[in-house]
């Protein structure tokens, strides 16, 4: 068990974490039912993944009857922070604003979202 801080979830692990963050807690079956809608996979595959994530310290679990109820150790906010920071470092030479402009340029944002961002920027500037 290492620090959850240093853990770098794989893509499969991220899928599980996302579901857990949405639900708060979940059993292997809960998770598996969601995953199955996205792509076919065996129950024991999900089970094994979650067992390994538990061993790695990414998940905690609690026996409930014969089942285990899992939850994520790392919070969604923290994971986002880490992953964004890493992307800034490795892909944008450490420049957050480069990343921001890249994300905005990807035209995925509506005018309303752009307004939100502008408001957020103003808040940041004023605080300084």
Q: Which one of a copy of itself, DNA, none interacts with residue 111, CB within 5 to 8 A by kind? A: a copy of itself
Site mask for a copy of itself (CB under 8 A), range 36-75, x = bound: ----------------------------------------
Q: Which residues make beta-bridge pairs with 62?
A: 69
Check binding of 78 to a copy of itself (CB under 8 A).
no
Residue 50 CA to its chain's centroid (Å): 15
User: Which parts of this chain interact with DNA (CB under 7 A)?
Assistant: 10-13, 27-29, 40-45, 47-49, 51-52, 65-68
Distance between start and end Cα atoms, the chain: 40
Total residues binding a copy of itself (CB under 8 A)? 38
The minimum distance between CB 5 and DNA, in angstroms, equals 16
Q: Two tokens at 43? A: 């129950």
Q: Which one of DNA, a copy of itself, none interacts with residue 81, CB within 5 to 8 A by kind? A: a copy of itself
The CA-CA-CA angle for residues 63, 69, 72, to 5°, reads 125
Over the range 33-71, which residues count as b (16 or more CB within 10 Å of their CB) and which as e? ebbeeeeeeeeeebeebbbebbeeebbebeeeeeebbbe
Q: Two tokens at 15? A: 């899928």
- Which residues of this chain interact with a copy of itself, rule CB under 8 A? 11, 14, 18, 79-81, 83-85, 87-88, 90-92, 94-97, 99-104, 106, 108-109, 111, 113-114, 116-118, 120-121, 124-125, 128
């Amino acid at each position: 068990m290492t620090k959850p801080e240093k853990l770098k979830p794989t893509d499969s692990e991220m899928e599980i974490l996302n579901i857990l963050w949405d639900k708060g807690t979940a059993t292997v079956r809960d998770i598996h039912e969601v995953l199955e809608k996205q792509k076919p996979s065996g129950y024991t595959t999900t089970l094994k993944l979650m067992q390994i994530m538990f061993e790695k310290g990414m998940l905690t679990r609690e026996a409930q009857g014969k089942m285990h109820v899992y939850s994520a150790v790392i919070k969604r906010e923290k994971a986002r922070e880490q992953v964004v920071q890493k992307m800034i470092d490795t892909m944008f030479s450490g420049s957050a604003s480069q990343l921001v402009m890249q994300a905005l340029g990807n035209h995925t944002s509506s005018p309303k979202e752009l307004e939100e961002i502008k408001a957020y920027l103003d808040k940041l500037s004023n605080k300084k």
